[in-house]
Amino acid sequence: MIFLKTDEEVELMRQSNILLSKMYAEVAKYIQPGVTTARLDQIAEEYIRDNGGIPACKGYDDFPNALCTSVNEQIVHGIPSDRVVLKDGDIITLDSSICLNGFHSDSAYTFPVGNVAEATLRLMRTTKEALYKGIEQAVTGHRLGDIGSAIQSYCEKAGYGVIREFVGHGIGRDMHEDPEVCNYGRRGNGIVLKSGMTMAIEPMISMGRRHILIEDDGWTARTIDRKPTAHYEHSVCVRNGKADILSTFDYIQEVLGDRFI
Ligand code: MF3
Ligand code: CO
């Protein structure tokens, strides 16, 4: 069942998403060669709690941490560890959710670590652009398939693989609500979008083939061919004429400066 949000509820969701966005900016200050993903998680959890939020990933289906940290060929749901030390040329996706005032936020961002290969930067750029292509479709009267179709065609044209096993989702009082928001699909297919629908749109795109496996920890998803993947996510509210993006990358941009892509 899809829950349409009132304007007041949307504003609460925006507050939750702004806190999440600021948390990423704080963690971004520490992303450099030599840092462990466990340390990044610790910074994230402290920031969330200090600001009155609840780290919603921690304990969700027994996920152990506040932050998902997925490095290079890892797509999503990487578990922070003091044995994972970032090195020059890596990319790392941070993905997390906060519950604030009863409402969840969700966004994700793939960061460069030191000097990243041009081909990988292109993957990151294309994935972020695909996110915005999808968001453009999240307006009243369009259909769910328009979002997936826009993302898929943009990324496949660039020669990349679109991960199918993980999808975006409705979001609100629960982290995952209906509907599922696929990153592939056909224009004109699926339900009609209505004002007040809130959803997380989150393309996960691979430089190589789209096929995945789950590592032995039971959580971490990676590409079978071990080619790198990027993942950018915003929470949005469907509106008449223009999607309302509830999360923001502006705080991340302030920290990354000219390394922001
Ligand atoms: N943004 C992630 C998702 O929608 C958050 C996952 S939290 C976890 O899947 F606990 F499931 F890892
Ligand atoms: Co999500």
pLDDT tens for the 261 residues of the chain, in order: 999 999 999 999 999 999 999 999 999 999 999 999 999 999 999 999 999 999 999 999 999 999 999 999 999 999 999 999 999 999 999 999 999 999 999 999 999 999 999 999 999 999 999 999 999 999 999 999 999 999 999 999 999 999 999 999 999 999 999 999 999 999 999 999 999 999 999 999 999 999 999 999 999 999 999 999 999 999 999 999 999 999 999 999 999 999 999
Tokens of 10: 């949307």
Torsion, CA 20, CA 237, CA 161, CA 178, rounded to 10: 100
pLDDT value, residue 15: 98
Distance (Å, rounded) from C-alpha 4 to C-alpha 88?
A: 44
Tell me how far the alpha carbon of residue 91 is from its chain's centroid: 14
* 212 inside domain: yes
- What are 192's strand-pairing partners? 143
Q: How far is the CA of 79 from the centre of ligand 1 (A)?
A: 11
Domain that holds residue 142: 7-259
Looking at ligand 1, which residue's alpha carbon is closest to its atom 7?
A: 57
* Largest Cα–Cα separation, the chain: 48
The sign of the torsion formed by the CA atoms of 202, 204, 210, 215 equals negative
pLDDT value, residue 10: 98
Q: Is the CB of 77 under 6 A from ligand 1?
A: yes
pLDDT value, residue 34: 98
Q: Is the CB of 41 under 6 A from ligand 1?
A: no
DSSP state letter for 233: B
* 1 inside domain: no
pLDDT value, residue 88: 98
Looking at ligand 1, which residue's alpha carbon is closest to its atom 9?
A: 77
Q: Is the CB of 106 under 6 A from ligand 1?
A: yes
Q: Is the CB of 234 under 6 A from ligand 1?
A: no
* 144 inside domain: yes
Q: How far is the CA of 68 from the centre of ligand 1 (A)?
A: 7
Domain total in the chain: 1
Whichever domain contains 245, its CATH number is: 3.90.230.10
Tokens of 176: 């995952």
* 2 inside domain: no
Are 48 and 66 a contacting pair, CB within 8 Å? yes
Tokens of 77: 């749901």
| Ligand 1 atom index nearest CA of 95 | 1
Q: Is the CB of 177 under 6 A from ligand 1?
A: no
